[in-house]
Amino acid sequence: MSRVPVVMVRIHGMSSFVPRVEDRAGAGTPEFSLGGESAGRTIVQSQAPREARPMRRYLRDRWFKFGLILLVLGSGPLWTIVLLAAIGLWPDPNPNPIGPGPLFFFTFWPAVILMGVGVVRVKWSRGQ
C-alpha cells in the first residue's frame, strides 16, 4: 500500500485538502486513493467522515431542533430590523421595534434551555 500525496487547494478563499490525482503507468486513467488500495478503480468519498459533521447528531434531537427553531423565529425579526436599519433599507434609521423586542426577550432563554437539554441528551445517549 502506497501513500497518496495530499494537495492543498484554494477556491475563492476557501482551502481544503484533496488527494492528488495520479496517472497510472500505461493505463491512461487517473487513479486516486482516499487511504485504501484502489486497484485501478477511482474511489470517491460521497460524504464527509463522521468527525467532520458533528452537528448532525444534535440536529436529529427533537429538543435541540425545537430550541434552534425557537431561537431563529424569536430573534429573526429583531435581527432583520437591526440589519436593515444598519444598511439603510429600514424607513427609520434608529428603530424602536416594540413587537420584535419582547418576542426576542421571551423566546431567547427558553430556546437556549431547550438547546442545552438537547446537547445533554445527545451526550448521554453516546456515553460521553
pTM of the model as a whole = 0.57
Q: Quick one: pLDDT band at residue 72, thresholds 50, 70, 90?
A: very high
Distance of alpha carbon 87 from alpha carbon 63, whole angstroms: 35
20 pLDDT exceeds 50?
A: no
52 pLDDT exceeds 60?
A: yes
pLDDT, one tens digit per residue, over 101-124 is 999 999 999 999 999 999 999 999
Indicate whether 103 and 60 sit together in one domain. yes
In a domain, 119, yes or no: yes
Indicate whether 117 and 96 sit together in one domain. yes
Indicate whether 61 and 115 sit together in one domain. yes
In a domain, 1, yes or no: no
In a domain, 25, yes or no: yes
Indicate whether 20 and 70 sit together in one domain. no
Average pLDDT, the chain: 76
Indicate whether 96 and 68 sit together in one domain. yes
Indicate whether 25 and 59 sit together in one domain. no
Domain, as residue range, for 12: 6-46
In a domain, 96, yes or no: yes
In a domain, 115, yes or no: yes
Averaged pLDDT, 37-54 = 56
In a domain, 88, yes or no: yes
pLDDT on residue 48: 56
- Residue with more model confidence, 18 or 65: 65
Question: Number of folded domains in the chain?
Answer: 2
- Residue with more model confidence, 64 or 29: 64
Indicate whether 66 and 105 sit together in one domain. yes
In a domain, 26, yes or no: yes
**Could you tell me the three cell numbers for 90?**
429600514
pLDDT on residue 75: 96
- Residue with more model confidence, 116 or 93: 116
89 pLDDT exceeds 70?
A: yes
- Sequence-distant (≥ 6) Cβ neighbours of residue 16 within 8 angstroms: 8, 9
pLDDT on residue 33: 46
Indicate whether 23 and 64 sit together in one domain. no
Indicate whether 64 and 98 sit together in one domain. yes
Q: What's phi and psi for 36, nearest 5 deg?
A: -120, 175
- Sequence-distant (≥ 6) Cβ neighbours of residue 48 within 8 angstroms: none
